[in-house]
Structure 1
């Protein structure tokens, strides 16, 4: 009689549930409130698979900003409030900095080698040290300012030439910067093999972490031992294929750099600087390789999503665009593009960046944290092993923190007499504690420049259909670990012949 993956799953699930029940500590304190679940399976049927951050807001209105649900005995903690998130994930980061083990995405596919899913251990700390030393502060990034300004101008030039492809051109510009910084590699104008490899890997990462999909191996860890030839074990074949893509994403550019170094032709970059400083042990090279892979795979798509949101907001909220352009015209004039030296003199443009980060956060729900020891908060017991979800979208759209939170109002971040600036979205938009994004300075620096130069040179407005009727973008976001706006059309034109000349200057 053939044994199928469902047979193994049934036995594995039964054993795992018994283990979970026996190993769970009890406390006299209550768990945080939350929707009631069913015996054994808990809230499995309640967990939303589409825009979960909105469902969690609805739950929070009934149960409060700190909630508990369970899935097959696994405690899940949902945090809708920024103060609670800071109290737990920042102030108690020694307890809350691990990641849950994702069998499909992590163990089987291999994404637990990268920063995003790496457990809280010495390897993770080494990755973060590498990245912080290279680009952790604005002063670290000054040597790359010419690169940022060059690529920003090229992006604008290409968008003017092909405005209908603005989304792809933003991705190209982001890839050009991160590949140059990380590997000293100049990407091709056409389909670049390195960029294609990373795009494929990040797409596959989105597939294996998509909340709308259920991988039984994530629910029943014993299934990871099932061979791929067993009927129903197609997940093993998927993991094998995706794992090879990920391995290539890390190995191919790393080997290219090492070959260039051996030939004496390598440019100074993240990888060369670290290799030259290291003892070139196998462990050091492995950590450098995966830190580099984390830097690109983790940074490029988030930056692209932020720029997509900027163009969406300029399409939907023309008054904000007009005010920012008036500031640039007044401070800089028509004869040059904004540079980093102008940043402190452009408070409204700075506020536009802050509002883009708030209005359309690229990570609506923070990558989950794992609690490493039992904890107590405000009289509630939070058991060891709880998976903690910080609802960043809820925090950045909280009407108690932000007036008219669904509106795009950059001026909310500019203090006026009798009205202080509203809370900086950076308090939560880049994550929390020891798992906060180590590339946040690079991200907001490059995005500021792109926003400033785009505002100085382009007019973004609603596109029109064949009958001349304006097309209003939906403003909705796609589901995914990284949230991109639904594809939308907009009109992008140079503000004047003079600004077009600035873009085209060689």
Structure 2
């Protein structure tokens, strides 16, 4: 008994000593802020990944930024991201409570925004049950069919490139998720989802709204001066919920009337004929994310593909020669994929040069931690600067250049260079995007079919100058036009 008491006292003293030492450590370095507001006024609403990358050059790969009383940790190196978000994933897998997007706009219930726990795990399980190698053949049939239609539309009106891209991605996702066949880009479901995604990208950007730094502001009445953010959040929430219910109800009606085809929602309901209200709510929310999460990101990647092809005709010719060697006069199929390593390398560069989510969704620190001699405060929000890693010259030599060959025929001495960029582009640790396979498959089949069918050239930015990337959470290239010429009859 005496020995047990001594052991407990020693353990308590060791714990107190450890906590005391941690408290004496400083947080990571970062730009100096101003009293009370911290760095709030220094954070841009757009292209914040570039600002963070510049700060990392001065302060190192782990920097600390404060917004009011909140700590933000930004990781800008592969090593730091791996050490914290992957090797210590249990501590770093939560999502922070974001007053504007999460609480006020109601997005905290979606799997991507949910805290790490039972609901998050159930949501991922449902998605991975629909997107996996066993389901791939039936998903490929839909993707190949929609892509063939996309090629015909693009041949008829190449000047509507952006609309055609948005249609093909949305129509694939609508068909797979709800069994809904969207005939054209003006489909009301597509328009409504695009609005919802823009809402999310705008309100979830770090520092976009003061309430995220002063959470008590969420309690003030909407009618108060300066409380317009509450109206914005309410309107975003109303639009999102209305769309969510309409899509889910459409799929349920198809099942009830015997007209349903296989889809994510109808399969869930067919396997569970009497879901509880809680299960209905879960299915409804997960299906909305299933549809929405891949839309904007895949559209961004396809626009980047067209941009790179138009700007680099020598890369385009090499990729076309590879595609032509295996498909002849037909459109490519997924069975051709293993014979197209150069195209795969091109698509890796698409993800590396312009990741669609350049600043990964935020992680939350469950308890105080120490890393690289610095204290990571409990409750900190952690962002991984994916763009900075994918443009790190120590990992990717000449990072500003598009070089598909960097992934081919590497020697043993180069094994640490040019790592797989898709391992960064789709999130980290236990928060890796569950729809990665579907996004990669869609990008491949559309890109291969475009190369087989068209020559792409002459990029012209809508507003002159060069094409830049902007956005909140999701990055898109500015509007541009390019010349798209059929290589053969389509």
Per-residue CA deviation, residues 267-300 of structure 1 (Å, 9 max, x unaligned), is 2210111122235011111111100001111111
Correspondence for 2:480 among 454, 477, 488: 488
Q: CA deviation at 1:65?
A: 0.7
Q: Summarize deviations over 1:232-287 as a string: whole Å, max 9, x none.
A: 32222222221110001210010111122222222221011112223501111111
- Correspondences of 1:376-415 after superposition (within 5 Å): 376-415=370-409
- Is contact 1:366-1:389 (8 Å) kept? yes
How far 1:481 moved relative to its partner? 1.1
How many Å apart are 1:64 and its aligned residue?
Answer: 1.1
Describe the SS at the equivalent of 2:135: helix
Give the SS at the match of 2:477. coil
Q: In 2, distance between residues paired with 1:49 and 1:357?
A: 22
SS in 1 for 2:267: helix
1:138 aligns with 2:133: yes
The 3 A distance-change label for structure 1 pair 29 and 190 is closer
Superposed, 1:464-475 pairs within 5 Å as: 474-475=466-467
- Whether contact under 8 Å (1:316, 1:472) holds in the other structure is no
Q: Separation in 1 of the partners of 2:69 and 2:170?
A: 42
Corresponding position of 1:293: 288
Q: Is the 8 A contact 2:347 2:444 kept in 1?
A: yes
Deviation at 1:210, TM superposition (A): 4.0
Q: Which runs of 4+ in 1 moved over 6 A?
A: 470-473
SS of structure 1 residue aligned to 2:240: helix
Would you say 1:355 and 2:355 are equivalent positions? no
TM-score, scaled relative to structure 1: 0.88
What is residue 321 of structure 1 aligned with on the other side? 316
Is 1:89 matched up with 2:81?
A: no
Distance apart, 1:452 and its partner CA: 0.9
Contact 2:201 2:471 in 1 (8 A): no
Q: Distance in 2 between matches of 1:382 and 1:217?
A: 23
SS of residue paired to 2:64: strand
What SS is found at the alignment partner of 1:119? Answer: coil
1:124 aligns with 2:120: yes
SS at match of 2:370: strand
Name the CA shift for 1:157/1:142 in 2 (closer, same or farther; >3 Å): same
1:90-489 equivalence runs, <5 A:
90-135=86-131, 137-189=132-184, 191-211=186-206, 213=208, 215-278=209-272, 279-332=274-327, 334-416=328-410, 420=415, 422-462=418-458, 474-489=466-481
Equivalent residue for 1:76?
Answer: 72
CA separation in 2, counterparts of 1:124 and 1:319?
45
Q: Secondary structure at the match of 2:382?
A: strand
TM-score normalised over the length of structure 2:
0.91
Q: How many angstroms apart in 1 are the aligned matches of 2:109 and 2:175?
A: 22
CA distance in 2, matches of 1:71, 1:165: 42
For residues 459 and 28 of structure 2, the distance between their equivalents in structure 1, rounded to whole angstroms, comes to 48
Counterpart pick for 2:29 among 27, 30, 33? 33
Between the aligned partners of 1:373 and 1:212, the Cα distance in structure 2 is 23
Structure 2 CA distance for aligned equivalents of residues 460 and 267 of structure 1: 36
The separation in 2 between residues aligned to 1:25 and 1:73, in whole angstroms, is 22
Q: 1:45 aligns with which of 35, 41, 44?
A: 41
The answer as to whether partners of 1:316 and 1:473 remain within 8 angstroms in 2 is: no
1:13 paired residue number = none
- For the residues of structure 1 that align with 2:436 and 2:460, how far apart are their CA atoms? 36
Distance 1:417 1:84, change over 3 A: closer
Residues 202, 159 of structure 1: CA spacing in aligned structure 2 closer, same or farther, 3 A cutoff? Answer: same
* In 2, Cα distance between equivalents of 1:269 and 1:291: 13
Shift of 1:139: 3.2
- Aligned equivalents of 1:322, 1:148: Cα separation in 2: 25
CA distance in 1, matches of 2:192, 2:101: 17
Q: Which runs of 5+ in 2 are unaligned?
A: 1-19
Q: Would the alpha carbon gap of residues 413 and 158 (structure 1) be closer, same or farther in structure 2, given more than 3 Å must change?
A: same
CA distance in 2, matches of 1:235, 1:176: 33
Q: Distance in 2 between matches of 1:252 and 1:118?
A: 22
The question of 1:54 aligning with 2:50 is answered yes
| Coordinate RMSD, CA, aligned | 2.1
Q: Distance in 2 between matches of 1:367 and 1:186?
A: 31
Cα distance in 1 between the residues matched to 2:227 and 2:411: 64
In the TM superposition, what is the alpha-carbon distance from 1:479 to its structure 2 partner?
Answer: 2.5
* Separation (CA, whole Å) in 2 of partners of 1:190 and 1:367: 28
